[in-house]
Amino acid sequence: MAVSEIKSGIYSVGAIDWDRRLFDELIPLPDGTSYNAYLIKGSDKTALIDTVDPTKEHRLIANLQKLGVEKIDYVVSNHAEQDHSGSIPSVLKLYPQAKVVTNPKCKSMLMDLLLIPEHRFLTVTEGDSLLLGDRTLEFILAPWVHWPETMFTYLKDDKVLFSCDFLGSHLATSELFVSNEAVVYESAKRYYAEIMMPFRTSIKKHLARISTLEIEIIAPSHGPVYHKPQFILDAYREWASDDVKNEVIVPYVSMHGSTSRMIDYFVDALIDRGIIVKQFNLTKTDLGELAMALVDAATIVIGSPTVLVGPHPSAVYAAYLVNALRPKLRFASIIGSYGWGGKMKEQITGMLTNLKVEILEPVVIKGHPREEDFKSLGRLADEILKKHQEHKLV
């Protein structure tokens, strides 16, 4: 990322990672990402908001040198995760007078994760401010987006909110500001689904908190900067709300075709009833796409054959992920088959304990589906339609 000026004296100095395709060795990043860092020059003091992933440290240092930054007084750490904090030790070496400004919980994590000595810290808490001369930083504690120590930094004079991971997007782009909201919407929704969705309750609180601020620009830690922030605030409000849509998500796996024959019939039955369906073959799907679909849907139906008396491992992985992401689903069910017996249904149901869902009668059959099995699938589709109607989703 080249150095870009957001406003007079406020610069983006982070790094674009065009090639990264996996985060935490788990989350697919089809469009790369960026690690955003921001330099704020006050009349007396200079502050750096966050750093970059250690793999891109040289880009941050080069950007600071390009700007001719001779002195950094404060390195504000909004979040201890290493994609933002990992280059703090090198920045502290380069600027020996700099203090790391963060909250006590983040300080403790930075000491554990990066072995930063205690004397390098200046701790702040909710509502504290830090004078840079003609500019003032204010700190807002915002735990659980998506770690317990996360916070926002607000530059009141310029109405800029530095929101750490919150409201961000995994998107590598050369454009400083959002230019195509449709593209950013998809990347931000993927990011929300994969990272923020389990913390929906905290997210609602933080949205309410920042609605009291005057904000012209939101500068997140990943993806482009929002110069029309209403777009992302509205999207987050919708995603984090309790509203669900007339949608059924169908992640499935099939070994010899019995389960896939059932899924094909069932999905058509849902479409015939006017329900939106998103079907994911778990051996081929990008799990990020599945996570995104879960943001809005009312119902999930997991399809699995029986392997070694239990669910197929791909179905186990999907059920584990769905349970961990805690989407606002209302209903769940299971479709599948077995050769001679097993506990597939019970094991999948037992993995969904985090979800506040009503389990609708599963359809689990022996062997290839017969006429009566298709009727059962039709009954399940009817039941889902009835539930969606009762909840006024249709």
Least distance between ligand FEO and beta carbon 352 (Å) = 26
Is the bond preceding 58 in cis, omega lying within 30 degrees of 0? no
Q: Give the integer Cα–Cα distance in Å for 305 and 260.
A: 9
Instruction: Output the smallest distance, CB 267 to ligand FEO, in A.
Output: 35
Buried b (16+ CB within 10 A) or exposed e, 54-85: bbbbebbbebbeeeebeebbbbbbbbbbbbbb
Widest distance between CA atoms in the chain: 79
**Region for 345 from its dihedrals, namely left if φ exceeds 0, alpha if ψ lies in -120 to 50, beta otherwise:** alpha
Measured from the CB of residue 146, what is the shortest distance to ligand FEO in angstroms? 6
| Chain residue whose CB lies nearest ligand FEO | 81
Minimum Å gap between C-beta 50 and ligand FEO is 9
- Encoded tokens for 332: 């769940």
CA-to-CA distance for 340 and 309, rounded, in angstroms?
A: 9
Say if residue 186 is exposed, middle or buried (CB neighbours under 10 Å; 0-12, 13-18, 19+): middle
Tokens coding 320 = 């584990």
- Rounded to a whole number of angstroms, the minimum distance from the CB of residue 142 to ligand FEO is 12
The torsion region of residue 168 among left (phi > 0), alpha (psi -120 to 50) and beta comes to beta
Return the structure tokens found at 123: 């701790």
Contact 264, 313 (CB under 8 A): no
For 56, which DSSP code?
G
- Closer residue to ligand FEO, CB minimum distance, 195 or 363: 195
Q: Contact at 8 Å (CB) between 106 and 149? A: yes
Q: Which is nearer to ligand FEO, 81 or 373 (CB)?
A: 81
Shortest Å distance, C-beta 51 to ligand FEO? 12
> For residue 68, what are its two tokens?
């001719």
Q: Residue 221 CB, nearest distance to ligand FEO (Å)?
A: 5
What's the one-letter identity of residue 389? Q
Residues forming the site for ligand FEO (CB under 6 A): 79, 81, 83-84, 146, 165, 221-222
Q: What pairs with residue 138 in β-bridges?
A: 129, 154
The answer to whether 295 and 267 have CB atoms below 8 angstroms apart is no
**In whole angstroms, how close is the CB of 79 to ligand FEO at the nearest point?**
6
Find the DSSP H helices in 273-370.
287-294, 313-325, 344-350
Min. distance of Cβ 89 from ligand FEO in angstroms?
A: 17
How far is the CA of 133 from the CAs of 8, 47, 122, 137, 385, in angstroms? 15, 11, 18, 10, 61
How near is the Cβ of 170 to ligand FEO at its closest, in Å? 9
Nearer to ligand FEO, 206 or 222 (CB): 222
